[in-house]
Amino acid sequence: MREEEVSPYEEIVAHREKIDAMNRNMVPSDIDAYGYLQGIYQGRWRYEPERARAARDCLPFERPKLAVIAKVGETFAERLEEAIARRMARPQVTNGMKVIEPKKEGAD
């Protein structure tokens, strides 16, 4: 047997190692920005500046931060009345058209 000859088993193992190396650097197509950035810092795939910047910019839209706002001391009825008053105080939007009020009869 010549020295260059490799057994079929060794060929399969070498081929599998090449495929595994290729798959380690492939990013799944169904991943979101958060998963992509996690994969970068966990070393699952290599850092690509353009993709990382796009993922960072998309992150707030795909996974928004959750926040809680609480008003203490007011009842629901008081808050509802305030909201109605704010709504009534806003000017009516008429899509830029002037509203013409009808003349009252007998007001001459």
User: Do the beta carbons of residue 83 and residue 75 sit within 8 Å?
Assistant: no
State residue 107's pLDDT score: 55
- Residue among 46, 51, 39 at smallest CA distance from 25: 46
- Is the overall model pTM greater than 0.85, yes or no? no
Distance separating alpha carbons of residues 9 and 38, to the nearest angstrom: 36
Residue from 6, 55, 65 nearest 33 by CA: 55
pLDDT score, position 89: 82
Taking the CA atoms of residue 47, residue 51, residue 57 and residue 63 in that order, the dihedral angle to the nearest 10 degrees is -80
Low-confidence residues in the chain, pLDDT < 70: 1-3, 24-25, 92-94, 106-108
